[in-house]
Amino acid sequence: MSKTKITVAYGDGIGPEIMKATLNILDAAGAQLEKEVIEIGEQVYLKGISSGIEPRTWESLRETKVFLKSPITTPQGGGFKSLNVTTRKTLGLYANVRPCKAYYPFVRTNFPKTDMVIIRENEEDLYAGIEHRQTEEVYQCLKLISRPGSEKIIRYAFEYAKKYNRKKVTCMTKDNIMKLADGLFHKVFVEVAKEYPEIEADHKIIDIGTALVADRPEMFDVIVTLNLYGDIISDVAAQITGSVGLGGSSNIGEDVAMFEAIHGSAPDIAGMDIANPSGLLNGAVMMLVHIGQPEIAEKVSNAWMKTLEDGIHTGDIYQDEVSKKKVGTQEFAQAVIERLGQKPSSMKPAVFSKEKRSSSGPVILTEHPAARKELIGVDVFIDWKENGRDANVIGEKLRSVDADGLKMQLITNRGVKVFPEGMKETFCSDHWRVRFFNADESVITHDQVINVLNQVRDMGLDFIKIENLYTFDGERGFSLAQGE
Ligand code: NAD
């Protein structure tokens, strides 16, 4: 078998110890790897590179397309960017895959039957990092959800389910509230699910969904969700399986894939040879499957489970009733190496199928004919805190705006209608949204919008942003205000 080139980063804190243990196991198992070691993290941040990664490092990743990464420490204080977020976005690693499995009774958990995989969208949502302070009181973070981004991750989840013989994919959103953004994700899920009739498709609102993951995890198989929800729910899932120190994860792009442990650099135990290397090892097992060495992946995974079954445990999972020997990082790795070729007897042995090397490969997205987009109104946001913030005062003032028929229809404050006919109990911040339509809600022009803004400025009001109101094939592309 020819060797596969991979890029390796030893990382910070416990990173070097767990990487050494992991690579020793992979080498002993016969993994065919040509490793290119790169430096990322603390040392690079301290050289003054705010991204934590040197520009030439990207070349290695572009060439090998496979990255085995130890955790890194993000220095405290402003100015340092999260290396993980930078890597995911730069390399287009759109899918974060986290298997969460119970290894009962060898690892303590209340949910011995848990075996689910969380597939989290990795590039969009509130993590786009587009934030603005708009007034004295109000800050905004933009949530962006795209159709291609949603389709890519949802297709990946169904393909994953098919490849790994999983029976059900559950989508989680909050589309009862965010009808457009989360609604799009749910809608695309329903569309894509139709192409996989052999796989059960289900949807849960994220709040009850998270509660069920925490209370009845055995009902889930594959979960696909948006970036923020996935971030939270994957930690809940890892925690309840008792496997925060054991879980590996992969970040998959069309070209490149990155494999790591789910935990951080654990500076509190760095250099003590007591860290559990299992998280990174499980990440490395996912890597072996990905690069087409599934038989080595099986060998490593089975020897690892056998080690757990034999009660050889690092301190983080040691239990008096179950464990036989407390070992350090390198001794644990040695125990796994001694068991290469053996299979677990009470846990189900690992079976991995051949996969193609080339990550997810180019994703072919469904083509949709372009919709007819028409501008029918505008929301003008205004910073205003005079006159005791009486909505009637700003409302009456703006009634006089008339841009060739484009007139104010209503004002909201934090989404609630406050003019006309607002309720005096509604609390008003200094952030007002003023909605303008033509009286008959017909199509308007950009010139009318500019005319509105000129009139607002001439009144001495500070407009902080606008949002155009469009229809797409006649369907409203904006939400109604509460009370509208
Ligand atoms: P952490 O996961 O590093 O540690 C949390 C707790 O779990 C600590 O008590 C630690 O000792 C323990 N722990 C973690 N991994 C362990 C292991 N393999 N074996 C035994 N015990 C283990 O989380 P944290 O303390 O919040 O973060 C520390 C640093 O790691 C921060 O700088 C953070 O930014 C970084 N971090 C990096 C990644 C990554 O690179 N993927 C992920 C999360 C956090």
Q: 202 and 168 in contact (C-beta within 8 Å)? A: yes
Residue 484 lies in a domain: no
Q: Does ligand 1 have an atom closer than 6 angstroms to the CB of 234?
A: no
Q: Among 321, 356, 391, which residue terminates a domain?
A: 356
Residue 99 lies in a domain: no
Q: How far is the CA of 230 from the centre of ligand 1 (A)?
A: 19
Query: What's the token pair of residue 280?
Result: 């990174």
pLDDT at 357: 45
Answer yes or no: do 330 and 222 share one domain: no
How far from 396 is each of 393, 450, 484, CA to CA, in Å?
A: 5, 21, 18
Answer yes or no: do 410 and 442 share one domain: yes
Q: Does ligand 1 have an atom closer than 6 angstroms to the CB of 73?
A: yes
Answer yes or no: do 226 and 124 share one domain: yes
- b/e per residue, 88-100, with b = 16+ CB within 10 A? bbebbbbbbbbbb
Query: What's the token pair of residue 294?
Result: 């599934």
**Rounded CA separation 290/435 (Å):** 51
Q: Among 356, 385, 400, which residue terminates a domain?
A: 356
Q: Does ligand 1 have an atom closer than 6 angstroms to the CB of 112?
A: no
Residue 15 lies in a domain: yes
In the three-class reduction of DSSP (H, G, I as helix; E, B as strand; rest coil), residue 43 is classed as: helix
Answer yes or no: do 123 and 227 share one domain: yes
- Residue whose CB lies within 8 A of the most ligand 1 atoms, among 263, 273, 281, for a mutation test: 263
Angle at 163 between CA 161 and CA 167, to 5 degrees: 35
Q: Does ligand 1 have an atom closer than 6 angstroms to the CB of 282?
A: no
Answer yes or no: do 218 and 245 share one domain: no
Q: Does ligand 1 have an atom closer than 6 angstroms to the CB of 72?
A: yes
pTM: 0.91
Ligand 1 atom, smallest distance to 278 CA? 18
Per the structure, the complete domain to which residue 36 belongs is given by 1-88+241-356
Residue 136 lies in a domain: yes
**Rounded CA separation 74/87 (Å):** 13
Q: 477 and 471 in contact (C-beta within 8 Å)? A: yes
Beta bridge partners of 115: 101
- Distance linking the first and last C-alpha atoms of the chain: 67
Which residue's alpha carbon is nearest to atom 36 within ligand 1? Answer: 264
Strands (DSSP E) contained in 174-274 are 200-205, 222-225, 248-252, 257-261
Q: 66 and 290 in contact (C-beta within 8 Å)? A: yes
Answer yes or no: do 142 and 30 share one domain: no
pLDDT tens-digit series, residues 11-66 = 999 999 999 999 999 999 999 999 999 999 888 888 888 888 888 889 899 999 99
Which residue's alpha carbon is nearest to atom 4 within ligand 1? Answer: 266
Q: At what angle do helices 294-309 and 15-29 cross, to 10 degrees?
A: 110
Q: Does ligand 1 have an atom closer than 6 angstroms to the CB of 19?
A: no
Answer yes or no: do 116 and 225 share one domain: yes
Dihedral angle sign, alpha carbons of residues 325, 235, 155, 257: negative
Answer yes or no: do 33 and 83 share one domain: yes
pLDDT tens-digit series, residues 459-470 = 999 999 999 999
- Return the number of other C-beta atoms located less than 10 Å from residue 383's C-beta: 17
Contacts of 345 (CB under 8 A, 6+ apart): 306, 309
Answer yes or no: do 332 and 428 share one domain: no
Answer yes or no: do 284 and 319 share one domain: yes
Answer yes or no: do 419 and 320 share one domain: no
Residue 159 lies in a domain: yes
Q: How far is the CA of 272 from the centre of ligand 1 (A)?
A: 14
pLDDT at 46: 85
Q: What is the CATH number of the domain that holds 386?
A: 3.30.70.1570
Query: What's the token pair of residue 64?
Result: 């090998």
Q: How far is the CA of 264 from the centre of ligand 1 (A)?
A: 3
pLDDT at 359: 55
Answer yes or no: do 423 and 313 share one domain: no
Q: 4 and 317 in contact (C-beta within 8 Å)? A: no
Q: How far is the CA of 269 from the centre of ligand 1 (A)?
A: 10
Beta bridge partners of 7: 36, 67
Per-residue pLDDT of the chain (484 residues; tens, 9 = 90+): 789 999 999 999 999 999 999 999 999 999 999 999 999 988 888 888 888 888 888 989 999 999 999 999 888 776 777 788 888 888 999 999 999 999 999 999 999 999 999 999 999 999 888 899 999 999 999 999 999 999 999 999 999 999 888 999 999 999 999 999 999 999 999 999 999 999 999 999 999 999 999 999 999 999 999 999 999 999 999 999 987 789 999 999 998 999 999 999 999 999 999 999 999 999 999 999 999 999 999 999 999 999 999 999 999 999 999 999 999 999 999 999 999 999 999 999 998 877 544 456 677 788 888 999 999 999 999 999 998 899 999 999 999 999 999 999 999 999 999 999 888 889 999 999 999 999 888 999 999 999 999 999 999 999 999 999 999 999 999 999 877 7
Q: Does ligand 1 have an atom closer than 6 angstroms to the CB of 41?
A: no
Q: Does ligand 1 have an atom closer than 6 angstroms to the CB of 283?
A: no
Q: Among 356, 381, 405, which residue terminates a domain?
A: 356
Q: Does ligand 1 have an atom closer than 6 angstroms to the CB of 276?
A: yes
Which residue's alpha carbon is nearest to atom 1 within ligand 1? Answer: 264
Residue 223 lies in a domain: yes
Alpha helices in 310-444 (DSSP H): 329-338, 391-398
452 phi-psi bin (left φ>0, alpha ψ -120 to 50, beta other)? alpha
Residue 261 lies in a domain: yes
Name the domain count of the chain. 3
Q: How far is the CA of 13 from the centre of ligand 1 (A)?
A: 9
Amino acid type, 59 = E
Ligand 1 atom, smallest distance to 268 CA? 11
pLDDT at 147: 96
Query: What's the token pair of residue 151?
Result: 């389709």
Residue 205 lies in a domain: yes
Question: Which residue, 300, 290, 378, 369, is CA-closest to 335?
Answer: 300
Q: What is the CATH number of the domain that holds 210?
A: 3.40.718.10
Q: Does ligand 1 have an atom closer than 6 angstroms to the CB of 71?
A: yes
Q: Does ligand 1 have an atom closer than 6 angstroms to the CB of 74?
A: yes
**Rounded CA separation 93/368 (Å):** 24
pLDDT at 361: 67
Q: 65 and 12 in contact (C-beta within 8 Å)? A: no
